[in-house]
Amino acid sequence: MADREGVTLTVDGMEVTVPKGTTVLEAAKQAGVLIPHYCYHPGLPVAGVCRMCLVEIEGVPKLQIGCATPVAPGQTVRVNDSAEARNARQGVLEFLLINHPLDCPICDQAGECELQNYVFQEGRSRTRYSPTYPKRFNPVEDFGGDVLYVPNRCILCTRCVRFMDHVAGEHVLNVSERGDRAFIGIHPDRQLDHPWAGNVVDLCPVGSLLSKDFLHKARAWELDHAPSVCTGCSQGCNVNLDTRAHSVVRVRPRPNAEVNSHFMCDHGRHTHRAMNRGDRIEAPLVADGDTLVAADWDHALARAAEIITGSSGSAVALVSASMSTEALHLLKVVLEGFDVTGAFRVERAEGGEEPLAGVPGLALRSERAPNVAGATMLGYEEAYDRGVEAIRHAALVVVLGEDLDGVSPDLLQGGGNLIYLGAALPEVARSARVVLPVTTVAEEDGSFVSRDGRVQRYFQAKPGPGMARPSWWVLGELLAELGRGEPLASAAEAFDHLASAETAFGGLSYERLDLKGIRLEQRTAAEVTA
Amino acid sequence: MGYPHEPHERETVVLSEHFGDPAARTYDGWVDRGGYRALEKALGMEPQAVIDEVKASGLRGRGGAGFPAGVKWDFMPKQKTRPHYLCCNADESEPGTFKDREIMRWTPHALIEGCAIAAHAIRAEVVYVYIRGEFTEAIAVMQHALDEAYTKGVLGRSAMGSGTSIDIFIHRGAGAYICGEETALMNSIEGKRGNPRIRPPFPAAFGVFGMPTTINNVETLTSVLHIINRGAEWYKSLSLSNPKSTGTKLMSVCGHVAKPGNYEITMGFPMKELIYDLCGGMRPGRTLKAVIPGGSSVPVLNREEAENCVLDYEGCVAAGTMLGSGGMIVFDDSADMVYQMMRIAKFYAHESCAQCTQCREGTAWMVRILQKILSGRGAIGDLDLLLDVGEMMTGKTICVLSDSCAAPVGSAVRKFRGEFEAYIKGARQPAVALV
């Protein structure tokens, strides 16, 4: 913010001081007053067309739109305290409902619909629009990509058009026609298949733009929301995992001005499929001759500790860059004393990066794993082939979340003792001595380090299957079993363990990371030693 | 001269002096009639001196809003750091208004001269004349005159040899009423959808292509050359009532008068005399019922109000309406005010740009209510509903299209309530035609 000068104003009797240049709508938010609005969105240029955010400003003859009116010192704004403003909003709601179908029972947006919410909050109880008039009708249109357009529900707030024009930078949508015949039009030869186009579904305040992927999957009020970090690439977009009946049905962006603004890409939206996979290991497995036999945790952990204690010399750690920083750190601790080759690999997309033009520093990155930076900081190398090759001469092989694609069963059988920690068991890993089932990103608390060195927490969204446990828990128990410390009681303790051992993370804690994370390089020396 | 009929002796013929005179359309004809003297004079003046002269004349915008033209010019940055633009609003689409068309058809060089003077005053090098697309004849005449002006060195790198660069381009509208709104007009020139912009920023700061811009109506710009020629004092003296309304005004009178057409009057001329003397009164056997004085966008006057109305900005406000563009629509006792209002509302519903909720939905809703009343299915409550919908549509949107629909309909419901009730109570046969 170039100008730090504060402006003090009053909104519905609440005094608030905001930076110069702030709009009345944003200032009111800070005063705890939500001015109802449709076309305004903090991530988009102002349009000022829905006329819902009309407020009374003392000394100004006409109502003003909060979204485009800058604050002024000593301004007195009335939102709910003004009968005139309330009437104007009620008028807008009545107008919007003229052509909006009352099909909430079959609309995906019901329950999180801004039209529904505001009509319930302050609309008229009955319309004065005679029911004999027909409503505008246009058939549902497939916009391509993941987006369906239901024009009948459209309130023409133009958020989608402005997102595509000004943020995505692809002019494929427009407002077609005039008057009450208007609708959102799409370029006749184009589709809404921009890699970031899915954001228009989130931006739509009503159920006019729908995700085909989420279509009729769940009612909004059945969903639980857990803050998380997208696992689609190394950008580290903040997201919410929406779950229904222990299944992640939708991934949506969670605003973070420093990472992803209000957006996320379509690739990231599809990551929920992997979180619902059905081929999970549900119990620890211990080798009995040539077969793996289900065991309880005590037995399996004791067996694993026995194998580790019984091995010496070189060890290989094949890890996934999608595992939590806590787990990657604890594995490093477990393998202390060995000559360790720690390796991971990253899928790199051929097309390169897919930037979102309107948000500098935001792109779908080519490295498609969330914790490449974390793994690298902890000493793991992006040298998968070398790691695989080292198995041949290793006494101990520990795999953490890596699916071992391309590794020959013979190599694994001929190598050292294999301990496998993962969510699912690939066929080649059946030669493991011990298999320890761990949870996925949706089922545990943890943290990732994004490509720009930002440590961000993710939260558990659903329970893990069967006996699967978070990898920090498994490795913590293993350390205790090895006689090298007390078991860890929580992910926060696991992170504290990391912070006390690794200077780069010094002084950090879950509490300090909070929901938005902290960028490592941006910390002052005092903060690091704190 | 005069078109379509000889000027009435009580007209003050300034702008319309050469209407009906084809020779005035040509460069030579225009120069013979004293043309381009004002431009030559203005180019020899400091831009600020031109602005001050126009300010002193009291000339106000003839497009409808009546904002003082000189003051508007004075808003332009005095230090020119970026290109300045002048837009001439020739998108005359207001129902009942046809004065700008006649200015362009008969005296295209007058408009070119006015544009060039204004461009010099606001230090604009480029002028866009945004002409309503349906005005094919006016466009052809203007283009021909423009070509001549360039050939004769009136325009171009060195306008009339003064060293000042002035270029004028004609931009054809594509049939949207809303493009006559100044910010929508700028969007349209930029090749965008003609949607009005939110203000601020105002055009003088952020106009066409984001540059300082002034938008003036055809009649305003054409008046400027007469002010330069004859002086501000002369122009100021043309005022019969309120000294804040000066000069002459072209009134486009249409509807049920004996002689419809353009009449140039001095500001403050009584409406009664315009209708009964200049326009030859009502059609035989008919009596005056109502007048909408400023194009269809302003409140309706009933007979008594109309006959006492003085035609200037203040006089019309005192009568409860606005002078607007000067497009007077006159209704006699045969007019069905319910049907007329439905037609007017339908126009606005068709032309709403669809940005603002109140306008997009409200204009169409008004049409439906009026059609319901016309078809004999109305209820008494519909009249209050019309007024309330009109209230919700007034003063809440980006531009005034919404208000322009609510004003005539609301005033008609108040002033001609009996006609609406006649349909509702079954005293009048339902109307068949709904379009």
Average pLDDT, chain A: 95
Q: Which of residues 380-399 of B touch A (CB under 8 A)?
A: 385, 392, 395-398
Cα-based torsion angle of the residue sequence B340, B342, B348, B351 in order, rounded to the nearest 10 degrees: -100
Summarised one tens digit per residue, pLDDT across range A413-447 is 888 899 999 999 999 999 999 999 999 999 999 99
For residue A382, the SS3 value is coil
Q: How far apart are CA A157 and CA A357, in angstroms?
A: 22
Q: pLDDT confidence of B107, banded at 50, 70, 90? A: very high
* CB A285, CB A312: distance < 8 Å: no
The answer to whether the CB atoms of B352 and A180 lie below 8 A apart is yes
Could you tell me which of A108, A323, A54 has the C-alpha nearest to residue A221?
A108
Residue of B nearest to A52 (CA): B357
DSSP A105: G
For residue A225, give both structure tokens. Answer: 């929301």
Cα distances (angstroms) measured from residue B329 to each of A130, B134, B181: 32, 21, 21
* CB A31, CB A93: distance < 8 Å: no
Radius of gyration of chain A (CA): 27
The answer to whether the CB atoms of A54 and B396 lie below 8 A apart is yes
The nearest CA of chain A is from the CA of B176 a distance in Å of 10
CB nearest B354 (choices: A51, A91, A182): A182
Give me the pLDDT at residue B338, please. Answer: 96
The packing angle between helices B417-425 and B357-374, to 10°, is: 60
* First and final C-alpha spacing in chain B: 39
* C-alpha B170, offset from chain centre: 19
For residue B328, give both structure tokens. Answer: 């007077």
Residue of B nearest to A100 (CA): B361
Summarised one tens digit per residue, pLDDT across range B142-193 is 999 999 999 999 999 999 999 999 999 999 999 999 999 999 999 999 999 9
**A224 pLDDT exceeds 50?**
yes
Summarised one tens digit per residue, pLDDT across range B48-84 is 999 999 999 999 999 988 999 999 999 999 999 999 9
For residue A520, the SS3 value is helix
Cα-based torsion angle of the residue sequence B347, B349, B355, B356 in order, rounded to the nearest 10 degrees: 120
Those residues whose C-beta lies under 8 Å from the C-beta of residue B108, and which sit 6 or more positions away, are B25, B141, B142, B144, B145, B146
Q: How far apart are CA B144 and CA B414, in angstroms?
A: 49
* CB B227, CB B53: distance < 8 Å: yes
Residue of A nearest to B399 (CA): A49
A141-144 vs A147-149, strand pairing mode: antiparallel
The nearest CA of chain A is from the CA of B181 a distance in Å of 15
Those residues whose C-beta lies under 8 Å from the C-beta of residue A298, and which sit 6 or more positions away, are none
Give me the pLDDT at residue B5, please. Answer: 86
Q: Which amino acid is at A309?
A: T
List the single best residue of A49, A62, A127 to mutate versus B (max B Cβ within 10 A): A49
The nearest CA of chain A is from the CA of B421 a distance in Å of 18
B183 touches chain A (CB under 8 A): no
* CB A71, CB A22: distance < 8 Å: yes
Predicted ipTM beyond 0.90:
yes
For residue A45, give both structure tokens. Answer: 């240029």
Q: pLDDT confidence of A529, banded at 50, 70, 90? A: low
Of chain A, the percentage scoring pLDDT greater than 90 comes to 93
A76-78 vs A6-11, strand pairing mode: parallel
* CB A245, CB A386: distance < 8 Å: no
The nearest CA of chain B is from the CA of A261 a distance in Å of 25
Task: Determine the average pLDDT of the residues in A507-514.
Answer: 95
Task: Determine the average pLDDT of the residues in A320-339.
Answer: 97
Cα-based torsion angle of the residue sequence A58, A61, A67, A71 in order, rounded to the nearest 10 degrees: -40
The answer to whether the CB atoms of B398 and A94 lie below 8 A apart is no
CB burial class (10 A; 0-12, 13-18, 19+) of residue A137?
A: exposed
Place of tokens 């004809």: B29
Q: What is the DSSP secondary-structure string of A150-174?
A: -GGG-----HHHHIIIIII----EE
**B434 pLDDT exceeds 60?**
no
* CB B138, CB B98: distance < 8 Å: no
Summarised one tens digit per residue, pLDDT across range B336-386 is 999 999 999 999 999 999 999 999 999 999 999 999 999 999 999 999 999
Task: Determine the average pLDDT of the residues in A459-463.
Answer: 97
The nearest CA of chain B is from the CA of A189 a distance in Å of 20
B347 touches chain A (CB under 8 A): no
Rounded to the nearest 5 percent, the helix, strand and coil shares of chain A are 30, 20, 50
CB contacts < 8 A (A, B)? 88
Of chain B, the percentage scoring pLDDT greater than 70 comes to 99
Residue of B nearest to A38 (CA): B357
For residue B333, give both structure tokens. Answer: 């006792």
Q: How far apart are CA A241 and CA B234, in angstroms?
A: 76
Could you tell me which of B434, B191, B402 has the C-alpha nearest to residue A88?
B402
Give me the pLDDT at residue A4, please. Answer: 63
Of chain B, the percentage scoring pLDDT greater than 90 comes to 97
* A chain contacts of residue B403, beta-carbon cutoff 8 Å: none
Task: Determine the average pLDDT of the residues in A247-267.
Answer: 96
* CB B265, CB B246: distance < 8 Å: no
pTM of the full structure: 0.94
| β-bridge partners, A225 | A242
For residue B342, give both structure tokens. Answer: 């439905």
Q: pLDDT confidence of B3, banded at 50, 70, 90? A: confident
B327-332 vs B288-292, strand pairing mode: antiparallel
* A chain contacts of residue B354, beta-carbon cutoff 8 Å: 156, 175, 177-182
Could you tell me which of A306, A308, A289 has the C-alpha nearest to residue A396?
A308
Give me the pLDDT at residue B187, please. Answer: 97
Task: Determine the average pLDDT of the residues in A140-154.
Answer: 96
Task: Determine the average pLDDT of the residues in A380-395.
Answer: 95
Task: Determine the average pLDDT of the residues in B112-140.
Answer: 97
For residue B174, the SS3 value is coil
The answer to whether the CB atoms of B392 and A51 lie below 8 A apart is no
Give me the pLDDT at residue A2, please. Answer: 43
* CB B118, CB B221: distance < 8 Å: yes
Place of tokens 């020629």: B229
CB nearest B358 (choices: A95, A129, A158): A95
For residue B396, give both structure tokens. Answer: 């809440």
Q: pLDDT confidence of B292, banded at 50, 70, 90? A: very high
Q: How far apart are CA A234 and CA A498, in angstroms?
A: 21
Q: How far apart are CA A520 and CA A450, in angstroms?
A: 10
Cis upstream peptide for B201 (omega within 30°): yes
Summarised one tens digit per residue, pLDDT across range A359-375 is 999 999 999 999 999 99
For residue A136, the SS3 value is coil
**B435 pLDDT exceeds 60?**
no
Task: Report phi then psi at B18, rounded to 5.
Answer: -105, 15
Give me the pLDDT at residue A527, please. Answer: 61
Cα distances (angstroms) measured from residue A225 to each of A196, A201, A255, B425: 22, 17, 14, 58
Q: How far apart are CA B105 and CA B18, in angstroms?
A: 10
- Enumerate the H helices of A187-271 as residue ranges: 199-203, 266-269
Per-residue burial over B186-203, b = 16 or more CB atoms within 10 Å of its CB, e = otherwise: bbbbeeebbbbbbeeeeb
The answer to whether the CB atoms of B365 and A54 lie below 8 A apart is no
Summarised one tens digit per residue, pLDDT across range B191-206 is 999 999 999 999 999 9
Residue A155 CA neighbour count, 13 Å, CB half: 30
* CB A438, CB A423: distance < 8 Å: yes
* First and final C-alpha spacing in chain A: 28
- Enumerate the H helices of A344-470 as residue ranges: 372-377, 384-390, 409-414
Give me the pLDDT at residue A290, please. Answer: 87
Cα distances (angstroms) measured from residue B234 to each of B43, B52, B162, B227, B237: 21, 15, 27, 8, 5
DSSP A261: B
* C-alpha A86, offset from chain centre: 36
For residue B131, give both structure tokens. Answer: 């002409």
Average pLDDT, chain B: 95
* B chain contacts of residue A158, beta-carbon cutoff 8 Å: 355
Give me the pLDDT at residue A286, please. Answer: 97
